[in-house]
Amino acid sequence: MAALKAEGSSVEPGDSLPIKLEIDGEEDFSPKASPPPPPTPEDFSPVSGRLAPRPSRSSNFQAPESALPSEPGSPGSPGSPDSPWGGRKRGKKASKLSKSSDASPPPSTAVSFWGSELGEMYGLRSETSVHISDFGTDTAKVYQRFKYLRNLGAGKFGTVQEVICRKTQKHFALKIVKAADIAAEISLTKLLRHPYIVSMQEVMTDADDCYLILDLCKGGTLTAWIAHHYETLLHCRLYIAPTSYEIGVFTKQLLLALAYIHHHNIMHRDVKPDNCLLVTPEGSQMKLADFGLSIRFQKGVKMTEVIGTVMYMAPKMSVPSPSYDERCDVWSAGALAYKLATADYVFQDAIDPADFNDADSNKWEEPVFKAMAEAGVKFDPKVWQDFDKRLQQLVQMLLDKNPDQRVRAKEALKNSQWLRRIKVEEKCCCTIS
């Protein structure tokens, strides 16, 4: 049962668009079929969370910029002229809406929000798109190109620093790991290009270590974001839950990232708050990071390796004879949303770390695995009554214990009317240049 690890340092308990037609010399502006209208404030009235309504601890949580439309190709959707993902952002002249049906389809080389093919914007990068430099034993060359600013974190897998490129003055994260431990992660991460995935910009090596230049996310991990929502009141530590809308924003971005990698036959296998990074402290844009346990898969072929972070693993990953596909990541996304809403793990009742001393510290996994196999997912009405029912329905859908009935990421994004109306920030990754 190798590669299991506990989370963190401890196991803590568009409007209808008129199209102008000429009919016998008269103009007809009848609205044509289009996606549901964008959300109004009434659609997303804030809910209180675990306590009575109060000013949110995340008062700086910025409302992102545009809503995801319900159908690809509609105004504002990926690939449409009005989309920030489409022609205008890439410097091309926007084409006018046309009633004609003989327009050529876009090239099938990339993935949309839901994994459908729309063009080159979100295809995989080429194998040679990330430059790899071998400095031999001269580690100083790394810091001749990048100036060290501060440490961001350290763990058993290496250290992370904030650095600035001396040439472009752009800030990046520098991840330093042993070369022997990072080959698989590099081979996959260097291919990925998506606004909700940490992008690899460059790789440098010396005799022992690899130096990965990655997107810098200054907002910290989602684990820290959750911890910030605790308050002490009358000597009690209380969790001030985020709103349904905030949870929806994070969940949607994660599902968009998963739809992208699954479309390209990559599963992450370690989705958890520690691996979700906020781009800025005050913003809501999030990026999925750390592809160290990720793997390529073939559709229809099940994985059998027990791997991941226990409290976010899908049930079928922990049974004596594990069998799972890419939808294990969907379960993890549901477990993350559950954690955001309740501050608890899905199978929280199965574990009490206080029951185990240091010598038996690993035994807490056993009751969790048993609960995964036998127990149902609980939704305490006293907790979930404060949230939008559609959020609970979404989380229940993601946490379907039957792996063959569980939705895929792109299906969840397409089928949840509520999630489709959640706005997310749409900004692409930078490059070193």
Is 328 strand, coil or helix? Answer: helix
d(CA 316, CA 372): 8
Residue with tokens 């397409």: 414
- Annotated binding residues, as ranges? 175
Q: What are phi and psi for residue 161, nearest 5 degrees?
A: -125, 155
CA distance 146 to 169: 9
* Dihedral angle computed from the Cα positions of residues 372, 373, 379 and 383, in that order, rounded to the nearest 10 degrees: -30
- Residues 235/241, Cβ–Cβ less than 8 Å: no
C-alpha 220/C-alpha 381 separation (Å) is: 32
Give one DSSP letter per residue of 400-432, joined into a string: -S-TTTSPPHHHHHHH-HHHHT-EE---PPP--
- Phi then psi dihedrals of residue 239, to 5 deg: -95, 120
* Binding site per annotation, positions for ATP: 175
Q: Where does residue 45 rank: exposed (0-12), middle (13-18), buried (19+ CB within 10 A)?
A: exposed
Nearest alpha carbon to residue 203 among 144, 134, 268, 139: 134
Contact 312, 295 (CB under 8 A): no
